[in-house]
Amino acid sequence: MNPSYTLRNKRVWVAGHRGLVGSAIVRRLQSEDCEIVTAPRDSVDLRRPDQLEKWMRDVRPQAVFLAAARVGGIHANNTRPAEFIYDNLAIQTTVVEACRRSNVEKLLLMGSSCIYPRLAPQPIPESALLTGPLEPTNEWYAVAKIAGIKLGQAYRRQYGCDFISVMPTNLYGAGDNFDRLQSHVVPALILKAHEAKMARAPQMEVWGTGAVRREFLYVDDAADGMVFLMKNYSDEGIVNIGTGRDVPIIDLVGMVCKVVGYEGTLRFDTSRPDGTPRKVVDVSRINALGWNAKISLPDGLAMTYRWFLENVAPEKRRVA
């Protein structure tokens, strides 16, 4: 299949357009000469084939970014396994089959770096998929995401659908979920450091030991990489997207406190899970295709905190 695909003058559906990744893809598509279409959340539940297929018949999108999913951090994944496996299976099967029936020209599915085995070689190559046991804190979500990969590959083989799958590493940035319990580590630490600073608290809490390592890709980089793949990649193999560099959580905490301006001490709550000891993806495949991440972690954290202050900070809400 010809890897090059144009978005020019196409109707491009961003499923999950209000989320962290979906809203970043909408921002990125502003510089493409295409028509962005979105499904109204109140009338189109992407777990419902009847609702989606009616909308698809009316709108007839030609290219689709599937950024809709049940998503959360380690606590959310570890405590809500049924929602994470059911919702993500339901959304993926509904959207993939609806795209086939509507003859969508190209669909980009989103997996996650958490699909790889807990103790995969680091950096993690795409070939590590299904070579070992999963990380228990998010295996339900991971199994659903692996099913999504297999769906896309099966539809390419049997029906000739141009469906591709990208495996993003941990993402963060403007538009993130800042819920104290359900969020990922970056927004959670920004919220906690900010609140500790505002309250002049002597200490802030960090989950786990802080010794595990994670890779963080700014969401606008991720969106740019996904548009790049939509335009330049067409094959059944999955493609990692990340920076290729990881940091210990303890270092991340220091960077967040520096950006926020919090100078108190840290209390490590080791009753909270660490999750996988290390998760950094091998980005040689996407680099070889011609794409590289551009936004550094310090710059990304500064942009995220600025967005938090303008859109989420508790004192902002009180003023509003």
Ligand X SMILES: NC(=O)C1=CN([C@@H]2O[C@H](COP(=O)(O)OP(=O)(O)OC[C@H]3O[C@@H](n4cnc5c(N)ncnc54)[C@H](OP(=O)(O)O)[C@@H]3O)[C@@H](O)[C@H]2O)C=CC1
Q: Which residues are annotated as a binding site for NADP(+)?
A: 16-22, 110-113, 145, 168-171, 184
> Which are the contacts of 68, defined by CB distance < 8 A and separation ≥ 6?
15, 16, 19, 22, 46, 91, 95
User: Of the candidates 45, 105, 126, 274, which one interacts with ligand F7E according to CB under 6 A?
Assistant: 274
Q: Is 70 in the site for ligand F7E (CB under 6 A)?
A: no
Residue by residue, what is the 3-state secondary structure of 191-216? HHHHHHHHCCCCEEEEECCCCCEEEE
57 CB neighbour count, 10 Å cutoff: 11
Pairing of strands 106-110, 163-168: parallel
Q: Is 204 in the site for ligand F7E (CB under 6 A)?
A: no
Q: Is 88 in the site for ligand F7E (CB under 6 A)?
A: no
In angstroms, what is the minimal distance from the CB of 8 to ligand X?
Answer: 25
Question: Toward ligand F7E, which CB reaches closer, 7 or 71?
Answer: 71
User: Of the candidates 44, 74, 104, 110, which one interacts with ligand F7E according to CB under 6 A?
Assistant: 74
* Feature table: binding site: 16-22, 110-113, 145, 168-171, 184, 192, 207, 214, 274
CA distances from 224 to 67, 106, 307 (A): 14, 17, 19
In angstroms, what is the minimal distance from the CB of 246 to ligand X?
Answer: 14
Q: Is the dihedral of CA 83, 84, 86, 92 positive or negative?
A: positive
d(CA 71, CA 102): 27
Q: Is 159 a catalytic residue?
A: no
Size of the site for ligand X (CB under 6 A): 24
User: Of the candidates 19, 22, 73, 148, which one interacts with ligand F7E according to CB under 6 A?
Assistant: 73
**Cα angle at 65 between 133 and 307, to 5 degrees?**
90
Q: Tokens 């029906």 map to which residue?
A: 159
Question: Toward ligand X, which CB reaches closer, 46 or 191?
Answer: 46
Q: Is 185 in the site for ligand X (CB under 6 A)?
A: no
Pairing of strands 11-15, 63-66: parallel
Q: Using CB under 6 A, which residues numbered 65 to 94 contact ligand X?
A: 67-71, 87, 91
Among 8-16, 118-126, 258-266, 267-275, which window interacts with ligand F7E (CB under 6 A)?
Answer: 267-275
CA distances from 6 to 15, 193, 231, 291 (A): 19, 43, 6, 17
Question: Toward ligand X, which CB reaches closer, 45 or 105?
Answer: 45
Residue 188 binding partner per list ligand X, ligand F7E, none, with a CB distance cut-off of 5 to 8 Å that depends on partner kind: ligand F7E
Site string for ligand F7E, 161-200 (x = CB under 6 A): ---------x------------xxx--xx-----------
Q: Is the dihedral of CA 210, 212, 217, 222 positive or negative?
A: negative
Helix (H) or strand (E) holding 241: strand 239-241
Helix (H) or strand (E) holding 13: strand 11-15
Site string for ligand X, 131-150 (x = CB under 6 A): --------------------
- How many angstroms from the chain centroid is the CA of residue 114? 11
β-sheet bridge partners, residue 172: 218
Q: Name the site residues for ligand F7E (rule: CB under 6 A).
A: 73-75, 77, 112, 114, 138, 141, 170, 183-185, 188-189, 206-208, 212, 214, 249, 272-275
Give the active site residues. 141
Q: Name the site residues for ligand X (rule: CB under 6 A).
A: 16, 18-22, 41, 45-47, 67-71, 87, 91, 110, 112, 168, 170-171, 177, 184
